[in-house]
Amino acid sequence: MEAEGADGASGGAEAALSCFSFNQDCTSLAIGTKAGYKLFSLSSVEQLDHVHGSNDTPDVYIVERLFSSSLVVVVSHTKPRQMNVYHFKKGTEICNYSYSGNILAIRLNRQRLLVCLEESIYIHNIKDMKLLKTILDIPANPTGLCALSINHSNSYVAYPGSLTTGEIVLYDGHSLGTVIRVFSVPDGQKLYEFRRGMKRYVTISSLAFSMDSQFLCASSNTETVHIFKLEHLANSRPEEPSTWTGYMGKMFLAASSYLPTQVSDMMNQDRAFATGRLGFSGHRNICTLATIQKLPRLLVVSSSGHLYVYNLDPQDGGDCVLIKTHSLLGSGTSEENKENDLRPPLPQSYAATVARPSASAASTVPGYSEDGGALRGEVIPEHEFATGPVCLDDENEFPPITSCRGDQQDKATPS
């Protein structure tokens, strides 16, 4: 989940975050600024551990980390058409790719790397960064709206299917097959419907499911974050308590059947199970639900440069209690905490296979490949390749990979 750009309400240009995103399992937070980017571990409530920071690439507007590994993908406004993949623990660049248009979004799982442009999507094999598929001529997608399932066994890709109707295209990014199905919002089966409020119109800035898919949180441009509980509802609503309030509630629902459809539907929508209240409104923000120190937490990041941590009661809901606020724009923690969430490296690493020193001057071949616009960066000398399957930090975090042959032009058949 990622938010790009900073609103004027978020403060001065030097203090605002240009982008911020949680990793796939919400154990890490990445932020981009005018100066560079930073990575934080979310293993503790009291202490926000600064894992890594870099000012080598200024004006970062996309930064994505692969789970808790050392692989990070960065895109800068100075080169908005170029994606750079780094092994930050080694301080090396793994590879870079250039595209025919500005990069709007990056999505990762343990099998695929997704690059979204306004009218095309590129699918890379994350084991060796080879370009596998280019989906061309998609409906104009100026915000880069897309999603990649974190389950690498299927690697489903979702993106808007129409400019005029509510359609979502679901593509099989694992077998690179054709479109699985196009879901039409007006005709699709409704599983849940929620209402975050009636007093005003708002702009939803982020939606996130909990890892167990039991809760959904939503943040907006207001001061309230809403959490909805995803329960399988019975055919009929449960009996209300035998109180005057319960009696009036049943009468109210009964009367709604005589009202216009839009009104009766609104009355039957479920309200928020829990809420987190911010001390401000108008700032761009994202939210997520995570388990930290074995307890459920609501996390909210604001473009003003702060992380807010709330306790969530999964049984009774209600108002979430703000327990900690962290500044993301400070100097960070001490050096000994910077890599506390990284396991000791094995003798061979991903960088040993395909990395080159980041200080090396990059050379690019002019023009674009026939697959629709992806261009590989500098060729990696043959002697720098490892001899066998290796991984980033450990076998559990990243699957074995094979050598990446940078001297071969990547090919992909246009869809």
Q: Are 237 and 246 in contact (CB under 8 A)?
A: no
DSSP 307-353: EEEEE--TTT-EEPEEEEEEESSS--S-GGGTTTTSPPPPSS-HHHH
Is the confidence at residue 227, as pLDDT, over 70? yes
- Rounded to 5°, the CA angle 88-118-29 comes to 30
| Three-class secondary structure assignment of 120-172 | EEEEEECCCCEEEEEEECCCCCCCCCCEECCCCCCCEEEEECCCCCCEEEEEE
Pairing of strands 274-277, 318-319: parallel
- What CA–CA distances, in Å, run from 126 to 66, 68, 109, 130, 379? 10, 15, 8, 7, 18
Is the confidence at residue 341, as pLDDT, over 60? no
Question: How many CB atoms lie under 10 A from the CB of residue 364?
Answer: 13
Higher pLDDT, 129 or 389: 129
Nearest CA to 73 out of 44, 108, 104, 46 is that of 108
Task: State both tokens at 284.
Answer: 């761009």
- What CA–CA distances, in Å, run from 149 to 83, 108, 185? 21, 9, 20
Supply the pLDDT for residue 7: 40
Any bridge partners for residue 296, and if so which? 291
**From the CA atom positions of the chain, what is the Rg in Å?**
23
Averaged over 237-256, what is the pLDDT? Answer: 53
- For residue range 136-151, what is the model confidence (pLDDT) as tens digits? 989 999 999 999 998 8
Averaged over 152-176, what is the pLDDT? Answer: 86
